[in-house]
Structure 1
Amino acid sequence: MPADKVAEYADGLCYTDLMAGYYLGASEEVLQAIADYSAWFFVWDDRHDRDAVHGRAAQWRRLRFRLHAALDAPAAHLRHPDPLVAGLADSVGRLFAFLPGTWNARFRRHFHAVIDAYDREFRNRLQGRVPLVDEYLALRRLTFAHWIWTDLLELSAGCELPDAVRKHPSFRKAALLSQEFAAWYNDLCSLPKEIAGDEVHNLGISLITHEGLTLEEAVDDVRRRVEECISGFIDVEKDVLRLADRLADGTVRGKELGAAVRACLANMRNWFSSVYWFHHESGRYTVDSWDDRSTPPYVNNEAAGEK
């Protein structure tokens, strides 16, 4: 993004505002680290998009390997000449300062999977291949980084949750529903831009291509799925609250875990309102105001990602 575009559009993109609405209760230092990582993620997403649009397979392959390396050894990549690689190193290095190494290892594992999923998406785009609906839904959980944003809830709560809590069916379902809502609502709001840009990764596009739905029917289907995420979350939320009560067994550790689960659950709920607000306030999705409906006005088609 050219410097003049940064000045014109950065605040209006509302990336840090989105995180501020999701990770309520986090310390200022934690929230700043998460917000900066989120902003980096959007920039990376745009680089990935430009590499796909221009067929820059070698550049994308090189970037993918560098991001994997920076994730494994952030301190060694802080001065990397590609600012996107250095930015990831800086972001994750700061995130890794708050919780034990076991949390860091989990975050690394989850984000390595996200990078690889972006590569699968890149290859689909070069081939013009629209994934089947079920295939797309599984891929979307990775490209939207469901488990990364869920991991960061623990950072916000200041407590690493044990596997027995994180993998509890009710807790995991609540986390998944909050992220599915976000991913599918994003698909709904991105659909005009992505149809205009001949994109192949959107739930609506998969429904149209493989289920034979009209555009209107696909929009209705995605909206129904979004609404079911909301009702499903409200139902399972009660079970997670009961889990928090059981964890608070009178011990110091139990009290800490119970409070952390409640904090994580509250911010899963906040994800719904924050994501809804973001998609109607961010300049990233105001497609009707763009001259080119396939490309945000802050993206320089020719230069983006050339370094």
Structure 2
Amino acid sequence: MPAFSHSTTTASTAIAVPPSLSLPVIEAAFPRRLHPYWPRLQEKTRVWLLEKRLMPADKIREYADGLCYTDLMAGYYSGAPDEVLQAIADYSAWFFVWDDRHDRDIVYGRPDAWRRLRFRLHAALDSPRHHLLHPDPLVAGFADCMMRIYSFLPATWNARFARHFHAVIEAYDREFRNRSEGNIPTVEEYLALRRLTFAHWIWTDLLEASAGCELPDSIRKHPGYRRAALLSQEFAAWYNDLCSLPKEIAGDEVHNLGISLIKHEGLTLEDAVAEVRRRIEECIADFLVAEQGTLRLADRLDDGTVRGMELSAAVRSCLGNMRNWFSSVYWFHHESGRYMVDSWDDRSTPPYVNNEAAGEK
């Protein structure tokens, strides 16, 4: 049963969360919100995945809704215009498909296929219009997402988004090499890499698209705002690590905070899980402090001018959606078939992935 009612924007949960993954503070203090466009969003993203050939039709029918990719975004970017949320949701679904292709290219030893895809994504990021008809569906789908996302805010925001995503692509390449060589990064190396592979600043940039306002550097780099943004993303990345640990151990992964703690800090599996939980709980507490500082910033910005009112409202929108990220990520991990490894025939092979290197036939 979903953690929300489809007819409302908030609801109490009805999902039994395993004690090892339960975070009572999220369930009590971070109410889940759902964008009212969600039912249409889910339907249109399913159609988009099919039209762009990003998943086989049978896998879309069987798995797309249960993977809950649209639920994750509909619970995050509250208040976004429908067309903005649709573009973000399609991009998010693309991102998961890309992540799966990256994983399969590693598992099946396809470095040449990965290298070609890496260079094509860099090119499509800078010139999406020229890649809309690319024979690799992953490249064409990405170009379609970028054309839409680039239409919402000025060229300065687009350049920042592109810069951030170029860095994400390169981080995925470092992850490819680490996994291919069996190199488990140290805790500090992992945390720095994770901020890129989880695309912390991409999802934060998209908060501005949701709010319909590009924020100036003075706000984005304000210590309170930047810390609140970072903590919301760190929570998501580390909670994902906690929930993904069984899947990633089964798949011989090397990128997980728990795995780095075991390898480099000498922790047992039980102690590593406890340490990841401690960091997650500390992250939540620190966010609540940063949230108050950012609300004070929003108050100061509202100086009676039209521009001041606009910036204040945008900061409040972005901050409110940072808060939404906690609950949306939390419940996503307990609803999505992406993490239900016990139901898979092979715990190391997700049933919803295509094992072929598309575009390489």
Coarse TM-score class (shorter-chain normalised): over 0.9
Question: In structure 2, how many angstroms separate the alpha carbons of the residues matched to 1:2 and 1:199?
Answer: 26
What number of residue pairs does the alignment pair up? 306
Pick aligned residue for 2:147 from 93, 110, 121: 93
Tell me the residue number matched to 1:53.
107
Tell me the residue number matched to 1:139.
193
Tell me the residue number matched to 2:300.
246
Question: In structure 1, how many angstroms separate the alpha carbons of the residues matched to 2:82 and 2:154?
Answer: 19
Q: What is the deviation of 1:6?
A: 1.3
Question: In structure 1, how many angstroms separate the alpha carbons of the residues matched to 2:281 and 2:236?
Answer: 11
Question: In structure 1, how many angstroms separate the alpha carbons of the residues matched to 2:149 and 2:196?
Answer: 20
What letter is aligned with 1:256?
E
Question: In structure 2, how many angstroms separate the alpha carbons of the residues matched to 1:153 and 1:3?
Answer: 31
- Whether 2:96 is the aligned partner of 1:42: answer yes
Q: What is the deviation of 1:304?
A: 4.8
What letter is aligned with 1:255?
M
Q: What is the deviation of 1:287?
A: 1.1
Moved over 6 A (4+): none
CA contact (8 A) 1:177 1:230 kept: yes
Matches within 5 A, 1:61-76: 61-76=115-130
Q: Percent identity?
A: 81
Secondary structure of 1:297's counterpart equals coil
Q: What is the deviation of 1:2?
A: 2.9
- What's the TM-score, normalizing by structure 2? 0.84
What letter is aligned with 1:282?
S
Q: What is the deviation of 1:300?
A: 3.7
Question: In structure 1, how many angstroms separate the alpha carbons of the residues matched to 2:168 and 2:327?
Answer: 25
Secondary structure of 2:338's counterpart equals coil
What letter is aligned with 1:96?
Y
What letter is aligned with 1:286?
M
Question: In structure 2, how many angstroms separate the alpha carbons of the residues matched to 1:281 and 1:296?
Answer: 16
Tell me the residue number matched to 2:15.
none
Secondary structure of 1:22's counterpart equals coil
Question: In structure 2, how many angstroms separate the alpha carbons of the residues matched to 1:304 and 1:221?
Answer: 37
Question: In structure 1, how many angstroms separate the alpha carbons of the residues matched to 2:68 and 2:357?
Answer: 21
What letter is aligned with 1:42?
F
Q: What is the deviation of 1:8?
A: 0.2
Secondary structure of 1:23's counterpart equals coil
Matches within 5 A, 1:105-120: 105-120=159-174
Question: In structure 2, how many angstroms separate the alpha carbons of the residues matched to 1:132 and 1:251?
Answer: 49
Question: In structure 1, how many angstroms separate the alpha carbons of the residues matched to 2:138 and 2:259?
Answer: 30
Q: What is the deviation of 1:86?
A: 0.3
Tell me the residue number matched to 1:80.
134
Q: Is there any run of 5+ residues in structure 2 with no aligned partner, and where?
A: 1-54
What letter is aligned with 2:271?
E
Matches within 5 A, 1:99-178: 99-178=153-232
- What's the TM-score, normalizing by structure 1? 0.98
Question: In structure 1, how many angstroms separate the alpha carbons of the residues matched to 2:90 and 2:81?
Answer: 14
Q: After superposition, what is the alpha-carbon deviation per residue over 1:203-222, rounded to whole angstroms, capped at 9, x for unaligned?
A: 00000111111111111111
Question: In structure 2, how many angstroms separate the alpha carbons of the residues matched to 1:69 and 1:3?
Answer: 28
Tell me the residue number matched to 1:201.
255
Give the helix-richer structure, 1 or 2: 1
Pick aligned residue for 2:338 from 284, 288, 292: 284
Pick aligned residue for 1:180 from 213, 224, 234: 234
